[in-house]
Amino acid sequence: MNLNCCAICKVLKKNCDSNCIYKAHFPSNDTRFEDVNQIFGAEIVANIFNSLESEEQRKIAANSLCYAAKARRRDPVSGILGMVQHYESILNYVEQEIKLAENELKTNVGPDQVPKYVDIPIPDDFLVKREDRKMGDGHRVNDASTSAGPSSTLPKKHE
């Protein structure tokens, strides 16, 4: 087995050469593959990769598998569904807060003075790519997905 063997070929004890379709996504030193292998198994991951036609599809699959494996490790019962439900509950909370604020504005300034959604200016950085936008605590947005989850608490409602 050569030292440049990718993580999948290493587990499957296959010959790994320069034409290996897994190598670019799970190189030998990729620590993410430990979770992916434990949750899905190298054979299934290899089958998924073999069924895909482009590098772009394999890149998306690799990232999705890593994300799902990490979510499953953090929440063995709900996995990625638990994260979706968590973010949906945050979204519902924010929507309720917006409705309350709209109602308060209607009461204070009159129903015809409340700006419609289309009138609200979009921030300049709204369309900035996610990886270019940094979080306030020094982590990138992509890192935030590892710290937020079903165990996180929702913001307290203002009284």
For binding to Zn ion (CB under 5 A), which residues are involved?
A: 6, 9, 16, 20, 22-23
Nearest to 73, CA basis, from 38, 29, 25, 31:
38
The nearer residue to Zn ion, 24 or 154, going by C-beta atoms, is: 24
Q: What's the closest the beta carbon of residue 14 comes to Zn ion, in angstroms?
A: 7
Report how far apart, in Å, the C-alpha atoms of 63 and of each of 56, 88, 123, 147 are.
11, 22, 29, 17
Query: CA-to-CA distance for 54 and 56, rounded, in angstroms?
Result: 5
Q: What's the closest the beta carbon of residue 42 comes to Zn ion, in angstroms?
A: 10
Q: Which residues are CB-neighbours of 21 under 8 A, at least 6 positions away?
A: 49, 50, 58
The nearer residue to Zn ion, 6 or 42, going by C-beta atoms, is: 6
Q: What's the closest the beta carbon of residue 139 comes to Zn ion, in angstroms?
A: 31
The nearer residue to Zn ion, 23 or 86, going by C-beta atoms, is: 23
Q: What's the closest the beta carbon of residue 5 comes to Zn ion, in angstroms?
A: 6
The nearer residue to Zn ion, 12 or 114, going by C-beta atoms, is: 12
Query: CA-to-CA distance for 9 and 4, rounded, in angstroms?
Result: 10
